[in-house]
Amino acid sequence: MVQQMAQVGKLLIGVWMAGVAAAMFLIVPQYEGLGNAGRIIIMHVPTAWVSVLAFALSAIFSGLYLWRRKPAYDDYALAAAEGGFLFTALATITGMIFSEVVWGVFWNWDPRQTSIFVLLLIYAALFALRSAIDDPQRRRQLSAVYALFAFVTVPFLVFVAPRMAESTLHPNCVFIQGSHCDGITLAEGRIGLLGDHKLHLLELERQGDVVTAHVLVGEPGLARETLLRPSFNLATGTMMDRPEFPGVRYQLGLERVDLASNSALLNIEAPGTGVLANRTTLYTFLASTTGFTALFIWMLHVRATLLGIAWTLAQREGVRL
């Protein structure tokens, strides 16, 4: 009965993942400005989530092993680490592909890239430690200690992040090649380049606390130009209207105004969480996350059972693993 249910569950996960993959290419609308490359987030984010989940599970099972001393817990800890390593590698590779297609660089030491790189190193260290100890009980115990100890240090990466956030590639910054997060400062009447766009600041118009910039936006070499009017509130120091660039979903923000020199800081703003605002994308994304989590748990169970069987066999035949 249990076996039959497991069979059904296995098939269900297979069908589910196939459905997610199909939906990713057929149903999810293109994320404007990113083209087809944007679809990879349906795979990228869930694999990254699973790699973190696996790390946490590995630490939990390590703790259980140290507490209860049952080899089965260590099998689960090892299986979680192995699965986690696989998913971490997948998240890294999908992220690198996306990054190369959209931003033109494979690697940037972005905070999240740093953390996932450290996660890869920790998994690798864990496997190196396991392979360097012969005695099975000592191996279990020491690798459990290392998994827990590493788990304590990982949260500190979160604090490192703000220090390196200037070079982020992840959303809420800029998506366009050749552009940086610092925007461009233009005086009235001057022309400048922001990413692939030519900006011409015609004038800064002040009404009470609100300053509106009249910006002529075009692409170099193209005749068509559009007038955008981003605005800025002097009293609160925040951006108000952020009109979209023609044809793409990036917005033009007026980040700062200097009335003394009549100049303004203009920047591209990514739509932020806008990707998941689309219902179809959101549901596919959630389905993908669920599917990957189920897939991981199934892999974890199978691998841990196999390790347990191998251990029982080795004990029966008196072979040292």
User: What is the contact surface with other proteins in residues (CB under 8 A)?
Assistant: 66, 114, 118, 121-122, 124-125, 128-129, 132-134, 137-138, 141-142, 144-146, 148-150, 152-153, 156-157, 159-160, 163-164
Name which of 3 and 131 has its Cβ closer to other proteins. 131
E strand or H helix that includes residue 164: helix 156-164
Q: How far is CA 172 from the centre of its chain?
A: 12
Name which of 142 and 248 has its Cβ closer to other proteins. 142
Backbone angles phi, psi at 199, to 5 degrees: -115, 135
Query: How many angstroms separate the CA atoms of 83 and 50, rounded?
Result: 9
Query: How many angstroms separate the CA atoms of 285 and 282, rounded?
Result: 5
Q: What is the 3-state secondary structure (H, E, C) of 240-277?
A: CCCCECCCCCCEEEEEEEECCCCEEEEEEECCHHHHHH
Name which of 17 and 181 has its Cβ closer to other proteins. 181
**Contact present, 63 and 140 (Cβ < 8 Å):** no
Beta bridge partners of 251: 244, 269
Nearest distance in Å: CB 124, other proteins: 7
Nearest distance in Å: CB 201, other proteins: 30
Nearest distance in Å: CB 93, other proteins: 19
Nearest distance in Å: CB 308, other proteins: 21
Nearest distance in Å: CB 215, other proteins: 32
Name which of 21 and 129 has its Cβ closer to other proteins. 129
Name which of 111 and 230 has its Cβ closer to other proteins. 111
**DSSP state at residue 38:** G
E strand or H helix that includes residue 16: helix 2-26
